[in-house]
Amino acid sequence: MSTQSSRFEFDPGFEDDRLRVAWYAVVGVFVAVGAYATYLRITGGMATTNLTSIVPWGAWVAFYIYFVGLSAGAFLVSTMANVFEVEGMHRIDRDALFAAIISMAVALLFVWIDLGRMDRMYFPFIWRQLTSALSWEVHAYVAYIGILVTELYFSMRIDLARIAQRTSGLRQTFYAALALGRLDTSEGSQSFDQRWLKRAGIVGIPLAIFMVHGGTGVLFAVSKARPYWNSGLFPVIFVISALLSGTALVMVVYVLRTRLFDGDSVDPDLLDRLAQLLIGFIIVDAALTAIETFIAIASVHPHEIETWQVIMYGPMSWSFWWFMIGFSWVFPMVLLSKRSWRRTPAVMVLTGLSVVIGIIAVRFNIVVPAQVMPVMEGLPHGSYFPTLVEWGTSVGMIGVGLLLYTLGAETLPLTPLTGGDH
Amino acid sequence: MSTTDDNTLPGIPNVGKADLDAMVENERPDPREELADVEADTDLGIAMAEDAQRVARGELSGDEYWEKYDEAAGAEFGEAYQETPNPAVDAGDQTVSTETAESLSCAVGSMDTVATESAQVEGEEPDGGIGAGDEKWGMVIDLQKCVGCDSCTVACKSENRTPPGVSYNVVMEEEHGEFPNVTRTNVPRPCMQCDNPPCVQVCPVSATYKMDDGVVNIDYDRCIGCRYCIIACPYGARYFDFGENYDDEVDEAGEVTSPEYGVDRGPREEGKSPIGNIRKCSFCTHRLERGEEPACVETCVGDARNMGDLENPDSDVAQMANSSRAFQLKEDEGTDPNVYYLK
Ligand code: SF4
Ligand code: SF4
């Protein structure tokens, strides 16, 4: 045992205590704001939102699909390590999986607060509707979270066991419990874990692509009443932009956690690999969106044209030009263009954050404009901008996600104890 | 207290109260003549009626009254009397004591219980319950007759007592052409009760579903308020109940609600369905079930709205829906509405 403990350093958590305090203070403010806003939301009901019967879906739904996208994207990045065994990616496997789990939890919080009857959130598991995409989605999300947790377990189990062997008392019980009592650290047990990790990943890939995120796109695309969403390309774009945001998130998390928690230096090759992935996804995302836009406009369907006019020239057009085009495509593309920048952690954190924030606007521009146009001539036009309660609750739920992530990062061996690749 | 004739208010004509009473007395049918038409004993009837008035005035107690007539009524009406609960027994304001009621020869129990029981018997008919009728309800709206007065919208709001922001029916006004060649069409829009309803298709908990009579129901006890059905409806017919009220406009506006889909939910209360649920036109199912037309049809100034059984080829609506003037809104959506319009 003594040899092992000298071989593996396990000291998770912030390197700098002042930074830890500052970070928890920020997250605490987020959560407190959110708690108060949630209180207002629960006591005041849906009337505390700016939603109407014309624009029934708003910020919460936009954030919900945003976080589902982040999760699916981060998960798919993790499969590059554990299923496709891309060289050098193993280092970020657990980071990606853990971020995917937290994102999904946050997504479900957004679904929950969006329900007119929050107390009936479990009803979809009692009553179903075979033809409803939403009914399927709810089940897919649960299965997907199950897969994610299974994967994280098999990916991390051996390190949990190693830590349990080295610690004592409560901490030992804690890590042993997380390892579900399987404390064997032999080669054999490790290859068993890796086999099952791969299997779970193989099940997870179609689940994430077709059911979880593709399905969320389908949820919108099946709405024949809304021509803007009613396209076959729509779910595909959904998946691509998910990959884009997920990769960006993993990149940010990797750099920040390596620097601030592990106190290590970032592997420039790995960073470059992620950066190149990002370039690929930006190009595909932009190209598909352009095709979709072109088809929509070429169809000369009045509904489509007017929706695009709302997006490009309406009162919210700034979110399209600045956030969607600027932050998620152009700005990151510029930063990704130089090889030396791609190997500079600070620049890549900036790139990643830019994408992660830009995609929020993409989600808003998916959800809102299609509802502004009335479904029939003669019915009123809608308009929507979230209320403070909607913003506040959103900040709060994001804060809960950050808190959970930080707590996890401070206790779990998210960085493989043996270093990078196995 | 101050209703004497001399107590007139300035500007209000004095209608002699005594004259009015005399008029009522005049109009009142002669009890003897009335009772002569029925088989039962006329004298007993008159005696009971007069004593009943004394009970009402408080000169006689309910107990005394029933003890006095129990035997005679039993003899006169036999089974019909013995098996019917005593009408004086009621949960709210009972005028006969329980002991007396039990000593009587008629059945014990309130009229309410009888009503419930007989309703249940009716409900046990084949496939009973709301919306199980043999008809397939359809509406035909004649656009040539519609004057765009929005009476239907108002009638609907008061019948269904919908909150602010919820309007099961709207009249869409469309202007065509350019000045001076402008025409205007008014298109009333209820829920189309589609045969292939996208709203039903998307509901994750099957809270909204089609009934046998063709009406699309919403189960307020199951709806989770996700609003996916609003997104899916191509006619904008669905509304979310944000819990707003007309309390500023009308005192106790929420005290009475409409028994939509045959369920009486009592006063409107915060946090209680249908607040937080989806609402829409139900073709006034509760009225259809008792043989009445929907409020909008009944009220329509121009007689533009018609309601009937689309499956009965002789019905007016079936014939109108088959005429060459008939069309449906957004026919290419494939929803096949049960609301037809006449060009
Ligand atoms: S009009 Fe809308 S709400 Fe009514 S049945 Fe059709 S889809 Fe459903
Ligand atoms: S809002 Fe209610 S009725 Fe509409 S889809 Fe959701 S659960 Fe069904």
Residue A416 within a domain: no
Q: Is the pLDDT at B322 greater than 70, yes or no?
A: yes
Q: Give the model's confidence band at B82: pLDDT under 50 very low, under 70 low, under 90 confident, else very high.
A: confident
Domain that holds residue A155: 10-411
Residue A83, both tokens: 């299923």
Looking at residue B1, its pLDDT comes to 46
Helix and strand element counts for chain B (H, E): 13, 10
**Of the candidates B122, B146, B170, which is a domain's last residue?**
B122
8 A C-beta contact, residue B141 and residue B329: no
Looking at residue A7, its pLDDT comes to 53
Separation of alpha carbons A271 and A251, rounded Å: 7
Looking at residue B15, its pLDDT comes to 72
Looking at residue A297, its pLDDT comes to 84
Is residue A307 classed as helix, strand or coil in its secondary structure? Answer: helix
Condensed to tens digits (0 to 9), the pLDDT of residues B249-263 reads 888 888 888 999 988
Domain identity same for B251 and B186: yes
Looking at residue B153, its pLDDT comes to 95
Q: Is the pLDDT at B121 greater than 60, yes or no?
A: no
Quick one: average pLDDT of B315-333?
Answer: 92
Domain identity same for B101 and B191: no
Domain identity same for B115 and B143: no
Residue B257 within a domain: yes
Where does A339-403 show beta strands of DSSP type E?
A: none
Residue B187 within a domain: yes
Is residue A17 within 8 angstroms of chain B, CB to CB?
no
Looking at residue A301, its pLDDT comes to 80
Domain that holds residue B89: 17-122
Q: Is the pLDDT at B6 greater than 80, yes or no?
A: no
Nearest CA to ligand 1 atom 2: B233
Residue A422 within a domain: no
What domain count does chain A have? 1
Condensed to tens digits (0 to 9), the pLDDT of residues A338-377 reads 899 999 999 999 999 999 999 999 899 889 888 888 888 8
8 A C-beta contact, residue B162 and residue B191: no
Using alpha carbons, select from A358, A367, A360 the residue that is nearest to residue A333. A358
Give the number of A-B residue pairs with CB atoms closer than 8 Å.
Answer: 137
Q: Is the CB of B233 under 6 A from ligand 2?
A: no
Nearest CA to ligand 2 atom 6: B226
Q: Is B79 exposed, middle or buried (0-12, 13-18, 19+ CB in 10 A)?
A: exposed
Domain identity same for B215 and B239: yes
Residue B11 within a domain: no
Residue A4 within a domain: no
Looking at residue A166, its pLDDT comes to 87
Lining ligand 1 with CB less than 6 A are B 191-194, 197-199, 216, 233, 235, 237-238, 280, 335
Looking at residue B173, its pLDDT comes to 86
Furthest C-alpha separation in chain A = 79
Residue in chain A lying closest to B329 (CA)? A376
**Of the candidates B73, B97, B122, which is a domain's last residue?**
B122
Over chain A (422 residues), the average pLDDT of each successive run of 10 is 50 84 95 96 93 93 94 89 81 91 96 94 91 90 94 93 88 91 88 92 88 86 84 87 92 90 86 93 93 85 83 85 90 92 92 94 89 84 92 96 94 80 44
Separation of alpha carbons B15 and B4, rounded Å: 11
Separation of alpha carbons B313 and B316, rounded Å: 8
Residue B270 within a domain: yes
Q: What ipTM does the predicted assembly reach?
A: 0.88
Residue in chain A lying closest to B168 (CA)? A53
Beta bridge partners of B209: B217
Residue B10 within a domain: no
What domain count does chain B have? 2
Q: Is the CB of B205 under 6 A from ligand 2?
A: yes
Looking at residue B73, its pLDDT comes to 82
Domain identity same for B145 and B94: no
- The chain-wide mean pLDDT, for chain A, equals 89
CATH number at residue A226: 1.20.1630.10
- For residue B13, cis peptide bond before it (omega within 30 degrees of 0): no
Lowest model confidence (mean pLDDT) among A192-196, B48-52, B227-231: B48-52
Domain identity same for B61 and B202: no
Q: Give the model's confidence band at B128: pLDDT under 50 very low, under 70 low, under 90 confident, else very high.
A: low
Determine what percent of chain B is predicted with pLDDT higher than 70.
86
Of B44 and B170, the structure prediction assigns the larger pLDDT to B170
- Chain B residues within 8 A of A223 when measuring between CB atoms: 198, 202, 231-232
Q: Which residues contact B224 (CB under 8 A, 6 or more apart)?
A: A115, A116, A117, A120, A121, A123, A124, B204, B205, B207
